[in-house]
Amino acid sequence: MSALRPRVELNRNLKLLFVLQSVSAVGNGLLMPLLPPYFLHLGLTGSDVGLLNGVMGLSMAFALLPSAVIADAKGRKNLALASLALGVPAVLLVAAGARELLISAFVLLGLTNAAANVSLSPLFADSVEKVEQMDSVYAYSAILSLIFSSVGAALTWPLIGFASASGNAVAAYRLGFAASALLFALSILPLLGVQERRVTARGRPSLKVSPVALKLAGLGALTAFGAGVGIWNIGYWFSRKHGAEAPQLGAMNIASNLLMAALTAAAPAASARLGTVSAVVALQVASIPLLVAMALSGSLAWAGALYVLRSALMNAVNPLVSSLQMRLVRPDERARMTMLSTLAWQVVGSAGAVLGGYLLDLNVDLPIYVTAAVYLVQSALLYIVLRGAGEASKPDY
């Protein structure tokens, strides 16, 4: 933390938002490792899981634009409250286990993610009193999310240990879902105390985007497609190929979070040394052989270790990509860039997830090989398109 400067002066809003984020991160950290093995216990196929992930992604994509309009018209705090409130019934519908309810649950999860995406981050930004502290606030935010998500993942061990004692795995997973829903409900409480600072928009809202924004969104969409095919369903892959249960998946999430935090902290130094585009490409390319080796591995331990390292390398580029996007577009286009990037990620990633589910049923490792190939192509295009055009060093205004 000492490297994160300038020091952040925490006002009341930021303290409450950090508490909200920490509690909800525990809920998410608990929820994510429960889903894949739970689906396997329910008898869902790879195609079923891919469809659910695709439905959630598309629901989020369709809700992003209206959510942004609502946030501007009715307030970001109100939308954030709605997103947290919707998360509770969504998780409880998953716990019910009926197949006809799972689609509804994942539609709700998509709506929740869309509302949170356009409300919570602006609330953080509006609460920062000094602009020069913005980077530090978001860095602290990322680290808190990783730490408390790991705490949530660790809770899978006692909860699923209950399954061994009771002999009823599905009941233990449902207990975990109930705990996650409770945490989402509790995270509403600190948000109630946040004092929203209303910002009046000037002029008519514009949806026009620049050519560089389209290039960046296209490159992001290609990454999203690769992630959708082989990574969005990766928990199910571990459960199906290696028999992983929630405690094993939770342990991998914890290890990934810790290593990811370390590499994310080091990524700006790599960017300063190599240049942003070169650093992004280097980290992405380094992760690709690990992905292939994971598919070739015959044991859960080796596959898990390779996945943890791969995830940390690939996700360490996220702040560099975000910084690149914000530097290469106009300041008044940054919100549209974020919206465009998120839409591209959700729509194309959702299509990849559906395809990946079908490929997984054909051959359990096929989606991972496809993802490795897509990542390699995307890395080459990113280097050629951005560095070759000189866009890494100056905005395309």
Query: What per-residue confidence (pLDDT) applies to 270?
Result: 76
Taking the C-alpha atoms of residue 128 and residue 133, their distance in angstroms, rounded to an integer, is: 7
Taking the C-alpha atoms of residue 238 and residue 306, their distance in angstroms, rounded to an integer, is: 12
User: Is the predicted pLDDT of residue 187 greater than 90, yes or no?
Assistant: yes
Taking the C-alpha atoms of residue 5 and residue 180, their distance in angstroms, rounded to an integer, is: 34
Task: Tell me the average pLDDT across 241-270.
Answer: 82
Q: Which residues, 6 or more positions from 308, have their beta carbon under 8 angstroms from its beta carbon?
A: 252, 255, 256, 259
Give the architecture-level CATH label for domain 209-397.
Up-down Bundle (1.20)
Q: pLDDT tens digits for 91-116?
A: 999 998 787 789 999 999 999 988 88
Q: pLDDT tens digits for 320-363?
A: 777 677 667 765 565 567 677 888 887 898 889 889 989 999 99
Closest by Cα among 315, 298, 148, 325 to 231: 315
Which amino acid belongs to residue 105? A
What angle do the packed helices 334-362 and 46-74 form, to 10 degrees? Answer: 170
Q: What angle do CA 363, 369, 370 make, to 5 degrees?
A: 95
Same topology for domains 8-194 and 209-397, yes or no?
yes
Query: What per-residue confidence (pLDDT) applies to 146?
Result: 80
The DSSP code for 202 is: -
Query: What per-residue confidence (pLDDT) applies to 170?
Result: 82
Query: What per-residue confidence (pLDDT) applies to 126?
Result: 73
Q: pLDDT tens digits for 113-155?
A: 888 877 777 777 677 666 556 556 666 777 788 889 888 988 8
Q: Which CATH superfamily is domain 8-194 in?
A: MFS general substrate transporter like domains (1.20.1250.20)
pTM listed for this prediction: 0.68
Task: Tell me the average pLDDT across 193-210.
Answer: 62
Q: Which of 6-20, 120-134, 289-303 has the lowest mean pLDDT?
A: 120-134
What are the residue boundaries of the structural domains of the chain, listed by start? 8-194, 209-397
